Amino acid sequence: MVGLPARGKSTVALKLRESLKHDALRVRIFNNGDLRRKMIPVNTSYARFFDPDNREGVALREKIGLINMQRARKYLNDRGNIAILDATNASRERRKIIGAMLGDHHILFVECVNEDREILEASILQKLDLEEFGHLTQEEAIESFKLRIAYYQSIYEPLDQESNFIKLDSLNNRILSEEISEDIPYVEQVRDFLLTDMVKNLFLIRHGETHFNIEDRIGGDSSLSPAGEEQAKALADYFGNKKIPLIFTSQKKRTIQTAEPIRAFQKKCEIIPLPEFNEIDSGICEKMSYDEIKKGLPHVYGERKKDKYNYIYPEGEGYVTMQDRIYRGIKKTLYLSNPSLNIMIVGHRAVNRMILSHFLFRRREDVPYIYIPQDRFYYISSTHNKKLFQLKGYQ
């Protein structure tokens, strides 16, 4: 792996390991950060440790890198098929050392590139959950981590001279450039896995019943009804014995209120509201009931009925215009999540239809008719080896 901190290297490494293992390959990740935290008893989270002018820090980091290279070589010489060196490997010099240490094996460099500021900020916040930042305030930890990134940027040399590499847009799963000059085993599988969205366990939930649901009104920012609060509690009880590290919601009260009891039942869980998962904006029809729209705005009611997917509410949205933001929300979710752990999204009816269709590959005209109940949820497992979609009850 190659890339600056917070660019998705570890997420990609985990994704590759999970995918390749299903092909009966023996794969192991050698993560320099994990080894550093185990080897060095003192806290090394302070940014100065990563300063290229800090000779002691450089020596320690080089030692850690060499140990992992040696361990990777031993693993490959024994019974391992693929070793993943998960580190920044920021300089050409470091990559030359990898070549010298492991040159009797095939080497493929995968560089993760992402300059989306919003995603990077969110990724940095995720990093702060590590114990090494526990003694710092959030503001101090963010400042320290950004300075760490700046130190790596000062020595960073992107891939361009190496014999075998893939440069990856790690947010959008796009190959930006590649150079494969050897017949490297498994490279086709690796390339395919890098380009594919993979979720091992995704729980897609619609918010509980709201006061607007009772009145058959659309949009708005209504709170949960008493029945909706009971649904949220039932969900919390159902997922109480499952580890849910992250819950992604919209910015609307009803999704956050549904997620809060679930978080309360977890030992360690964070709610991340994303604007991309906000419900469809119904424009001039916001907060109206369907009956009011039918009677007061018959042209809107009639036109939308003809082509529900492509119809755009006046001064609002349609399914067709939601597509890009929902896609971005999915990419954010997968970028910030560990692909081997459970992922939960609490969304809305139209939003969840769009998310489900992303993995189901439904015809666009059918998307507005996908069944999204409030008393059940969808379980999705979408990998190269398994496509599973189940509608499950929780009460």
- 3-state secondary structure labels for all residues of 176-232: EEEEECCCCCCHHHHHHHHCCCCEEEEEEEECCCEHHHHCCECCCCCCECHHHHHHH
Average confidence (pLDDT) over 208-225:
96
**Phi and psi, residue 289, nearest 5°:** -85, 160
CA neighbor of 377 nearest in space, from 349, 341, 358, 354: 349
**Phi and psi, residue 246, nearest 5°:** -135, 140
Quote the percentage of the chain above a pLDDT of 70: 100
Top-confidence residue, 128 or 178: 178
**Cα–Cα distance, 388 to 239 (Å, whole number):** 19
Domains of the chain, start order: 9-194 (3.40.50.300), 199-393 (3.40.50.1240)
Instruction: Name the average pLDDT for the chain.
Output: 94
Q: Tell the burial category of 232 from Cβ atoms under 10 Å away from its Cβ (0-12, 13-18, 19+).
A: buried
Distances 158 to 53, 89, 168, 237, 364 between C-alpha atoms, Å: 20, 10, 12, 48, 39
Query: Rg of the chain over CA atoms, in angstroms?
Result: 24
Tokens of 234: 């039932």
Residue with tokens 């509410």: 313
Average confidence (pLDDT) over 25-40:
94
User: 254-283: per-residue pLDDT in tens?
Assistant: 999 999 999 999 998 999 999 999 999 999
User: What pLDDT sits at residue 383?
Assistant: 83
User: 188-199: per-residue pLDDT in tens?
Assistant: 999 999 998 888
**Cα–Cα distance, 281 to 221 (Å, whole number):** 11
Degrees to nearest 5, angle at CA 77 with 76 and 78: 90
Residue type, 33: G
Name residue 270's beta-bridge partners: 246
Handedness of CA 88, 91, 92, 96 (dihedral sign): negative
User: What pLDDT sits at residue 340?
Assistant: 83
Average confidence (pLDDT) over 76-105:
96
The number of beta carbons lying within 10 Å of the beta carbon of residue 277 is 28
β-strand pairing of 109-113 with 164-169: parallel
Degrees to nearest 5, angle at CA 153 with 148 and 155: 110
pLDDT of 137 > 90? The answer is: no
User: 41-60: per-residue pLDDT in tens?
Assistant: 777 878 999 999 999 999 99
User: What pLDDT sits at residue 41?
Assistant: 75
Average confidence (pLDDT) over 372-391:
91
Degrees to nearest 5, angle at CA 337 with 358 and 129: 160
Catalytic positions: 206-207, 213, 254, 279, 348
Tokens of 131: 């114990």
pLDDT of 288 > 90? The answer is: yes
Residue with tokens 């419900």: 279
Handedness of CA 36, 40, 43, 47 (dihedral sign): negative
User: What pLDDT sits at residue 343?
Assistant: 95
Average confidence (pLDDT) over 165-190:
94
pLDDT of 134 > 80? The answer is: no
User: 318-342: per-residue pLDDT in tens?
Assistant: 999 999 999 999 999 999 998 889 9
Tokens of 389: 């979609």
**Cα–Cα distance, 369 to 367 (Å, whole number):** 5
